[in-house]
């Protein structure tokens, strides 16, 4: 049952129960802060629970690679620091090029990511087929990364829930927060469970960070991506790696229980108020054709389910993670492109900042993202991006 | 690479009594109608057409078969467009329906849509219910009606409602043996609803005919009993039954073991409201009407403009009720499209509502007999599989609730319950009942978020032939 929040001031209130909010709350609570976490629905049931679960460097933005590498290591060792399994499989990953244009794109992008620290090699078709025997023979060149893999994203909420409770976090699921304002000693939150006070505040609302920032009078434009995903029924093994494509518009892997998840950020319809209301059939077919072009045996399976997940994207498609200018002891954490992969590490570093531990990490301060005045149009957001 | 797109004034999904009559009514009023069904010919489940090349012996033919033939003839003669053998896999707003057929995929677009997707059956799990040889009562009627095939040589027929007698009588008529008829209801329950059943003399006569046939075949009838286990090695070999109370909970008394190679079992019907759910129409929970059903006005309009629901998918009411609610929804669509004047529509509506009132007493009695019984769910043993696609047991569902799952979608994430190919059609009602035990009500336990496809669909059919260059890959993600 949802606990009744205390009338005494908490050390930290976190609003938003995805990977970011939950990780910040977890590490702060373990360090001794009396922490309360609010989630308007169930923990990790939005982007953190309905994404494709891919943990890949080859779809991660170059600026995020150092974070993603560290986060990958965290996911791979989740039972150790989180205390619970999220079904992480570490395996090889391939990013494919089928045309000369894609080969050029792939070569350039792999180079940039390698410079940023991702261990990506370019391999020819024969080697690619050795790495992934299920692969189509039409591949011209492939990026090969050994730091790849995937998690069962739907288990994220279950795992974090247990960890947060063990860490002593006052976990308020199904408790929406309507506002937060400074009140002298910290912040006062207007919640469905009554007024709650905390010395420190973390807003970790993913696509809803725009609304949350507005509580403090800030304008932080956040674009919403409606990423479509599809899953097949359980089938005999057809692949053993994570497979993507040069453009980033494919994310494909088979889970140990046999289902194959097909993603890549093809867009459905919806918004942050209604959620992902509708899938676009032609986009779904395009995404599945791409998948079957890469792994031909997939054609023999049946589509079991398709859904849409909301992904947040800032104006420059880099995270919003850092202090809130003008509001002491208040931070924002979220809206990370490919956020599932990088989330735990970015959030852990933010927790370190809150706890004033370790080397200060500049993270991704939001000053650059704040619109100068209300009503001013934000600059064009960067386009399609896969939900990891 | 868009699929072929056909425009119409109205799309009707489901060509049973409700959908076919909706399509006919709207077509007669002048709308261009597309009627889509999974089966090759209209008829739905109750009026199901025999499979191609199957001759149904005269002894097995019933009034349902004659009604079905009449409906098929009416659709064929009308000139409306019927699309059979079509698997609807996507339904999106205002309204686009994507269907996969043997010939590939086709999209239909119309400003109005009638959802008439009927019902599916509720089977409350018991040990052994996943053994080969155990099938649903409704599945047994499909075999008998469509394929003229017996479920087994010696079949136990169990559960509740009039389907019990219908299936048993058809098995007997087809030359099979019914080794036991196991009814959750007792004679007193049947007597209590008899006056309401008598409001439809033809159906009452049909039911009595079934009972006579069962009696002549000396089928052992076990009232107020339930199947508590199906046992066997590779397939069902025997069925264990026990006496139960009015809520289906086993009580003290003799357990019988009945030798059988088939068990046809069903515990009522669930409304198939996937399309309204997918399009996020307002729903309400009504246990006896088949669970979560769309909120409708008197003419079958949902909360979404242009979306109508009719037949058992809008609340279990049987074939007669479906026929009327379908006709009404079809007329409402014609009215809303401007093809029918308000006066003519109102007069027709009032006539149909009066007729529906007349069949409602009978339908209510049948619903009463098929109602969900709490005790059956409570009696599910911890190790019994509830979600058979994903092998999730009752103990795992209870454990997930203990671990903090407060509603069914969270349960899904915690256990994979409902994540298999049936998308929770088989386990959903039971799983939600189990969650409701802890959170207080079915409303609090919630309802699965609907996801396309409505049924699993082969990728091969969906994707067709394509060139790589034809895939409209969106522009690359930022580096």
pLDDT class for B446, splitting at 50, 70, 90? Answer: very high
- Of residues A248, A277, A306, nearest to B477 (C-beta): A248
Strand (E) or helix (H) holding A149:
strand A141-150
Q: Which tokens belong to A87? A: 């079904």
Distance CA B118, CA B270 (A): 9
Distance CA A53, CA A67 (A): 17
B396: contact with A, CB 8 A cutoff: no
Q: Which tokens belong to A105? A: 């794109």
Q: Which tokens belong to A232? A: 């097949």
Please give the C-alpha separations between residue A139 and each of A113, A136, B51, B226, B468, in angstroms, as whole numbers: 21, 6, 45, 59, 12
| Alpha helices (H) along B201-287 | 201-216, 274-278
Q: Which tokens belong to A131? A: 């790495």
Residue of B nearest to A49 (CA): B413
What pLDDT is attached to residue A377?
47
Cβ contact A306–B452 (<8 Å): yes
A61: contact with B, CB 8 A cutoff: yes
- The bridge status of strand A35-38 relative to strand A10-15 is parallel
Chain A hits for B277, Cβ within 8 Å: none
What pLDDT is attached to residue A48?
94
Using CB atoms and an 8 Å cut-off, which of residues 364-383 of chain A contact chain B?
A: 382-383
What pLDDT is attached to residue A379?
45
Residue A373 has pLDDT above 80, yes or no: no
Using CB atoms and an 8 Å cut-off, which of residues 97-136 of chain B contact chain A?
A: 98, 105, 107
Beta strands, E only, B196-279: 221-223, 225-231, 238-243, 256-259, 262-266, 269-271
A62: contact with B, CB 8 A cutoff: yes
Query: Above pLDDT 90, what percent of chain B?
Result: 86
Q: Which of A45, A258, A215 is CA-nearest to residue B414? A: A45
Please give the C-alpha separations between residue B322 and each of B162, B207, B356, in angstroms, as whole numbers: 17, 19, 9
Q: Which tokens belong to A40? A: 């308007």
| Residue B266, Ramachandran bin (φ over 0: left; ψ between -120 and 50: alpha; else beta) | beta
Chain A hits for B463, Cβ within 8 Å: 285, 288-289, 292, 299
Query: Above pLDDT 70, what percent of chain B?
Result: 99
Using CB atoms and an 8 Å cut-off, which of residues 259-278 of chain A contact chain B?
A: 265-267, 269, 277-278
What pLDDT is attached to residue B170?
93
Mutation to test the A interface, candidates B413, B419, B458, most A Cβ within 10 Å: B413
Q: What is the ipTM of this complex?
A: 0.93
**Mean pLDDT in chain A?**
93
- Of residues B2, B414, B463, nearest to A289 (C-beta): B463
Contact between A25 and A331 under an 8 Å Cβ cutoff? The reply is no
Q: Give the list of residues 6+ apart from residue A159 with CB closer than 8 angstroms, or none.
A: A78, A82, A83, A84, A85, A86
Contact between B267 and B122 under an 8 Å Cβ cutoff? The reply is yes
Q: Which tokens belong to A158? A: 């279950």
What pLDDT is attached to residue B57?
73
B55-86: per-residue pLDDT in tens? 777 766 778 888 899 999 999 999 999 999 99
Contact between A224 and A312 under an 8 Å Cβ cutoff? The reply is yes
Chain B hits for A157, Cβ within 8 Å: 410, 413-414
B311-330: per-residue pLDDT in tens? 999 999 999 999 999 999 99
SS3 A238: coil
Distance CA A208, CA A221 (A): 10
Using CB atoms and an 8 Å cut-off, which of residues 146-165 of chain A contact chain B?
A: 154-155, 157-158, 161-162, 165
Contact between B313 and B115 under an 8 Å Cβ cutoff? The reply is yes
Beta strands, E only, A314-381: 320-323, 330-334
Chain A hits for B468, Cβ within 8 Å: 98-99, 138, 293
Cβ contact B410–A42 (<8 Å): yes
B78-104: per-residue pLDDT in tens? 999 999 999 999 999 989 999 998 888
Residue of B nearest to A257 (CA): B390
What pLDDT is attached to residue B64?
81
Cβ contact A138–B96 (<8 Å): no
Cβ contact B460–A232 (<8 Å): no
- Give the mean pLDDT of A224-235: 96
Residue of A nearest to B107 (CA): A281
Cβ contact A385–B412 (<8 Å): no
**Mean pLDDT in chain B?**
94
pTM: 0.94
pLDDT class for A385, splitting at 50, 70, 90? Answer: very low
Residue A383 has pLDDT above 50, yes or no: no
Residue B215 has pLDDT above 70, yes or no: yes
Cα dihedral sign, B33-B39-B40-B42: negative
Cβ contact B423–A267 (<8 Å): no
Strand partners for B155:
B178, B262
- Give the mean pLDDT of A26-42: 97
Cβ contact B98–A307 (<8 Å): no
- Of residues B406, B409, B475, nearest to A174 (C-beta): B406
B271 to chain A, closest Cα gap in Å: 20
A148-172: per-residue pLDDT in tens? 999 999 999 999 999 999 999 999 9
Q: How many Cβ contacts (< 8 angstroms) between chains A and B?
A: 156
**Among A195-204, B42-51, B125-134, B448-457, which is the least confidently predicted range?**
B42-51
pLDDT class for B477, splitting at 50, 70, 90? Answer: confident
Q: How many CB atoms lie within 10 A of CB A295?
A: 22
A32: contact with B, CB 8 A cutoff: no
Chain B hits for A303, Cβ within 8 Å: 89, 453, 456-459, 462
B137-189: per-residue pLDDT in tens? 999 998 988 888 999 999 999 999 999 999 999 999 999 999 999 999 999 99
Cβ contact A162–B412 (<8 Å): no
B410: contact with A, CB 8 A cutoff: yes
Chain A hits for B466, Cβ within 8 Å: 289
Helix axes B394-402, B428-439, angle to 10 degrees: 40
Distance CA A308, CA B46 (A): 36
Residue of B nearest to A247 (CA): B476
What pLDDT is attached to residue A2?
67
Cβ contact B459–A248 (<8 Å): no
Contact between B14 and B313 under an 8 Å Cβ cutoff? The reply is yes
Chain A hits for B452, Cβ within 8 Å: 279, 284, 305-306
Chain B hits for A269, Cβ within 8 Å: 92
SS3 B430: helix
Cβ contact B459–A288 (<8 Å): yes
Dump the DSSP string for A184-237.
Answer: SSSEEEEETTEEEEEEEEEE--GGGHHHHHHHTT-----EEEEEEEEEEPP-S-
Residue of B nearest to A308 (CA): B451
Distance CA B283, CA A110 (A): 50
A120-151: per-residue pLDDT in tens? 999 999 999 999 999 999 999 999 999 999 99
pLDDT class for B3, splitting at 50, 70, 90? Answer: low
- Give buried/exposed letters for B205-242 (b at 16+ CB in 10 A, else e): ebbeebbebbeeeebebbbbbbbbbbebeeebbbbbbb
User: Which residue bears the tokens 């919403």?
Assistant: A224
Residue A384 has pLDDT above 70, yes or no: no
A226: contact with B, CB 8 A cutoff: no
What pLDDT is attached to residue A171?
97
A320-371: per-residue pLDDT in tens? 999 999 999 999 999 877 789 999 999 999 999 999 998 888 899 999 999 8
Mutation to test the B interface, candidates A17, A37, A116, A303, most B Cβ within 10 Å: A303
What pLDDT is attached to residue B1?
44
Distance CA B462, CA B479 (A): 32
B465: contact with A, CB 8 A cutoff: no
**Measured at the alpha carbon of residue B91, what is the angle toward residues B90 and B93, in degrees to the nearest 5?**
140
């Amino acid at each position: 049952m949802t606990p009744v929040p205390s009338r005494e001031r908490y050390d930290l209130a976190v609003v938003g129960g995805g990977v970011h909010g939950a990780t910040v709350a977890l590490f702060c609570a373990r360090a001794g802060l009396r922490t309360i976490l609010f989630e308007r629905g169930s923990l990790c049931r939005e982007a953190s629970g309905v994404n494709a679960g891919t943990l890949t460097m080859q779809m991660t933005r170059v600026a995020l690679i150092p974070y993603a590498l560290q986060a990958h290591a965290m996911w791979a060792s989740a039972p150790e620091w989180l205390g619970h399994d999220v079904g992480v499989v570490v395996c090889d990953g391939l990013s494919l090029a089928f045309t000369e244009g894609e080969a050029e794109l792939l070569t350039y992008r792999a180079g940039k990511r390698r410079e940023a620290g991702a261990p990506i090699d370019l391999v020819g078709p024969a080697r690619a087929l050795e790495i992934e025997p299920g692969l189509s023979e039409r591949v011209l060149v492939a990026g090969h990364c050994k730091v790849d893999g995937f998690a069962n994203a739907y288990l994220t909420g279950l795992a974090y829930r247990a960890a947060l409770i063990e860490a002593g976090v006052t976990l308020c699921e199904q408790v929406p927060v309507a506002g937060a304002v400074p009140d002298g000693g910290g912040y006062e939150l207007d919640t469905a469970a009554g007024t709650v006070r905390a010395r420190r505040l973390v807003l970790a609302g993913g696509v809803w960070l725009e609304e949350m920032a507005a509580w403090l009078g800030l304008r932080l434009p956040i674009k919403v991506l409606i990423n479509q995903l599809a899953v097949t029924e359980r089938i005999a093994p057809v692949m053993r790696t994570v497979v993507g494509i040069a453009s980033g518009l494919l994310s494909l892997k088979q889970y140990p229980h046999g289902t194959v998840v097909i993603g890549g950020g093809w867009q459905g319809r919806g918004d942050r108020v209604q959620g992902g209301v509708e899938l676009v059939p032609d986009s779904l077919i395009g995404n599945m054709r791409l998948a079957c072009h890469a792994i031909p045996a997939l054609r023999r399976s049946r589509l079991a389910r398709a859904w849409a997940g909301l992904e947040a994207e800032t104006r420059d498609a880099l995270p919003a993670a850092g202090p809130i200018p003008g509001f002491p002891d208040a931070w924002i954490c979220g809206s990370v492109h490919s956020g599932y992969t990088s989330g735990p590490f970015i959030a852990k570093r933010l927790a370190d900042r809150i706890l004033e531990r370790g080397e200060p990490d500049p993270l991704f301060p939001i000053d650059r993202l704040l619109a100068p005045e209300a009503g001013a149009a934000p600059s064009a957001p960067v386009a399609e991006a896969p939900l990891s | 690479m868009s699929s072929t797109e056909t425009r119409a004034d109205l799309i009707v999904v489901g060509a049973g009594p409700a959908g076919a009559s909706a399509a006919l009514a709207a077509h007669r009023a002048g709308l261009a109608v597309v009627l889509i069904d999974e089966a090759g010919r209209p008829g739905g489940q109750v009026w199901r057409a025999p499979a191609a090349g199957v001759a149904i012996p005269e002894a097995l033919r019933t009034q349902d078969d004659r009604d079905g033939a009449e409906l098929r003839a009416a659709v064929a003669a009308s000139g409306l467009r019927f699309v059979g053998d079509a698997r609807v896999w996507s339904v999106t707003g205002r309204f686009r329906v994507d269907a996969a057929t043997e010939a590939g995929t086709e999209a239909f677009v119309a400003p109005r849509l009638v959802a008439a997707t009927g019902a599916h059956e509720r089977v409350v799990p018991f040990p052994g219910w996943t053994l080969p040889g155990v099938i649903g009562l409704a599945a047994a009627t499909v075999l008998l009606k469509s394929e003229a095939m017996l479920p087994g040589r010696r079949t136990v027929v169990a559960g509740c409602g009039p389907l019990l007698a219908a299936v048993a009588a058809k098995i007997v008529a087809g030359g099979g043996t019914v080794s036991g008829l196991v009814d959750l209801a007792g004679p007193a329950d049947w007597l209590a609803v008899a006056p309401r059943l008598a409001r439809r003399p033809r159906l009452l006569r049909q039911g009595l005919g079934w009972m006579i046939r069962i009696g002549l075949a000396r089928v052992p009838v076990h009232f107020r009993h339930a199947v508590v286990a199906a046992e066997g090695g590779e397939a069902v070999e025997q069925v264990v039954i026990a006496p139960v109370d009015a809520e289906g909970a086993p009580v003290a008394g003799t357990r019988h073991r009945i030798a059988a190679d088939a068990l046809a079992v069903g515990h009522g019907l669930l409304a198939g409201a996937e399309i309204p759910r997918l399009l996020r129409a307002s729903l309400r929970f009504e246990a006896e009407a088949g669970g979560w059903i769309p909120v409708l006005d008197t003419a079958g309009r949902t909360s979404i403009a242009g979306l109508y629901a009719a037949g058992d998918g809008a609340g279990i009411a049987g074939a007669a009720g479906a026929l009327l609610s379908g006709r009404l929804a079809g007329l409402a669509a014609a009215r809303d499209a401007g093809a029918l004047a308000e006066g003519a529509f109102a007069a027709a509506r009032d006539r149909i509502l009066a007729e529906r009132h007349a069949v409602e007493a009978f339908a209510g009695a049948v619903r009463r007999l098929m109602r969900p019984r709490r005790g059956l769910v409570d009696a599910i043993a911890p190790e019994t599989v509830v979600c058979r696609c994903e092998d999730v047991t009752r103990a795992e569902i209870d454990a997930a609730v203990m671990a903090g799952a407060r509603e069914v979608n969270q349960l899904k994430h915690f256990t994979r319950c409902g994540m298999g190919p049936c998308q929770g059609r088989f386990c959903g009602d039971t799983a939600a009942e189990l969650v409701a035990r802890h959170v207080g009500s079915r409303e609090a336990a919630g309802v699965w978020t609907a996801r396309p496809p409505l049924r699993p669909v082969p990728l091969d059919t969906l994707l067709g032939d394509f060139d790589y260059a034809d895939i409209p890959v969106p522009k690359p993600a930022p580096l």
